[in-house]
Chains A and B, each alone.
Chain A
Amino acid sequence: MMKIEFEVNGKPVSVDVDPRLSLADCLRSELGLTGTHLGCEHGVCGACTVIVNGAAVRSCLMLAVQASGDSVVTVEGLSNDEALTPLQASFRKHHALQCGFCTPGMVTTAHALLTHEPDCDEDRVRDVLSGNICRCTGYVPIVEAVLDARAAYGSKGE
């Protein structure tokens, strides 16, 4: 076992993990953050996306020990207790989720994208979301939801 310390959703955590535990499994089983979903566990579906040091990454392709010293944000960290965030509200408005399995990965990916590129166009959104599989929505509403949320991230508009 190895002891690692890192930050999750703004709070310092310290946890003893098996060196081969994936970051996804660590978040879900050790830290109880089951918002991060596991679809394929080999880097194809995007459901497990989290944000590490500001960059969207697949938590099934990373060992927990590799996050030592890093700052990790999960889908739980992108919500607040009182009301929907603008990104969440946009997903709701556009019916961008049905079963919701892919949604944590979509939301974390979209948040990272909009934080870095608030003025991204539809092609860019589609390009970035191409790594996330959704079996329900047909993607169109998800793309619309992300585009519509740009204003909340400081987009200057098209």
Chain B
Amino acid sequence: MPILAFRLAAPEMLVDLKYVEGLDRIAIDKDGVTLGAKVRWCDIEADERLATAHPLLAEAIRHVAHYQIRNRGTVGGSLAHADPAAEMPGIAVTCDAVLTLAGPTGERQVAAAGFFEGALQTSLAADELITQVHLPAWPAARRWGFREFARRRGDFALAGIAAFYDVDPRGRAVDPHIGVIGASDRPRRLARAEAALSGKVVDSASIAEAAAAASAEVDPPSDIHAPADYRRALVATMVERALAHAAR
């Protein structure tokens, strides 16, 4: 809707999904969590199963927008909109989610990492719509953290970090995933920050290394909300806080 209000786009046709059935389900099974495109933020908030089935998702979604928007904003809408600072695309990319897109020739599955092409740009074709997004299963012992910084509660983040890793028997981080929002033209994982953490015990030294790597790895924009240097520093701080939460 803001895109229309700003006259950024003038699509010839608008389709309301209100009466399309079956898109508003949150399905949880051994393979993971599947969110229908019409699942609203308030639905995720109210679903107590997610506290264990996907705590990172539940925490990140608590940061989405304000009360009135949470009552109408949807998973599919946020993914299709592809704001670089939005939480849902960030979680999808960080968690290796798979999106299901439906079009005239049937359905196709795409990895979240390849779906986002830039600010407000995705690989969704004009005649396709997102029907669901699948997040792989979440092991109970997985460590995670989510932190974002916004000037006003509910506003788009100047920068945010979603992070998780598993722990081997000797306490070392296995397969860490660190994703950033708000500091590049699309949500992305930070390979060098992940490498800095991989195989290490997550303590203040390894967290500092990961934070430094993350800060060096992002190339944030300067805009009226914050200069690039500030955002880069913020990325490091968010990595520190998210990982400190994960290691608590």
Q: Which A residues are in CB contact (< 8 Å) with B71? A: 55-57
Selecting from A28-36, A90-98, A127-135, the interface stretch reads A127-135
Please name all residues of chain B whose beta carbon is closer than 8 Å to the beta carbon of A42 when the two chains form the complex.
Answer: 1-2, 5-6
Q: How far is the CB of A110 from chain B (nearest CB, A)?
A: 10
Interface residues of B in 1-58 (CB under 8 A from A): 1-2, 4-6, 14, 16, 18, 42
The reply to whether A57 and B72 form a contact with Cβ atoms under 8 Å apart is yes
Task: Assess A56 versus B68: contact at CB under 8 Å? Given A41-B5, A42-B1.
Answer: yes
Is B154 part of the contact surface with A, judged by Cβ < 8 Å?
A: yes
A residues less than 8 Å from B42 (CB atoms): 55
CB distance from B76 to the nearest CB of A (A): 15
| A151 beta carbon closer than 8 Å to chain B | no
Contact B152–A109 (Cβ < 8 Å): no
- Contact among A19, A41, A62, A131 for B67, CB-based, below 8 A: A131
Task: Tell yes or no: A43 within 8 A of B by CB.
Answer: yes
Number of interface residues of A (CB under 8 A): 27
CA distance A130 to B66 in the complex (A): 7
Q: Give A124-151 as 1s and 0s: 1 = Cβ < 8 Å from B's Cβ atoms.
A: 0001111110000000000000000000
Number of contacts between A and B (CB, 8 Å)?
64
Min CB–CB distance A67 → chain B (angstroms): 10
B69 contacts the other chain (Cβ, under 8 Å)? yes
Q: Please measure, in the bound complex, the distance between the C-alpha atom of A62 and the C-alpha atom of B153, giving whole angstroms.
A: 22
CA distance A46 to B153 in the complex (A): 14
A interface SS class: mixed
Contact A61 B14 (CB under 8 A): no
A-side contacts of B1, CB under 8 Å:
22, 42-43, 60-63
- Across the interface, which residues of A come within 8 angstroms of B4, CB to CB? 20
A131:B14 contact, CB within 8 angstroms: no
| A window 60-77: CB within 8 A of B | 60-63, 65-66, 68
Q: Does any Cβ of A come within 8 Å of B167's Cβ?
A: no
CB-based contact A131/B5 at 8 Å: no
Q: Which residues of B contact A111 (CB under 8 A)?
A: none
Minimum Cβ distance to chain B for residue A81 (Å): 28
Q: A42-B1, A57-B72, A131-B154 are in contact. Are A63 and B66 (CB under 8 A)?
A: no
Q: Which B residues are CB-close (under 8 A) to A128?
A: 66-67
Q: How far is the CA of A19 from the CA of B12 in the complex (A)?
A: 11
B80 neighbours in A (Cβ, 8 Å): none
Instruction: Answer yes or no: A8 CB below 8 A from chain B CBs.
Output: no
Does A49 reach chain B (CB closer than 8 Å)? yes
In the assembled complex, the Cα of A129 lies from the Cα of B67 at a distance in Å of 8
Residue of A nearest to B5 (CB): A42
Chain B contact residues, CB within 8 Å of chain A: 1-2, 4-6, 14, 16, 18, 42, 65-69, 71-72, 152-154
- Could you name 7 residue pairs across A and B whose Cβ atoms are closer than 8 Å? A58-B68, A60-B1, A66-B16, A66-B18, A68-B18, A128-B67, A129-B67
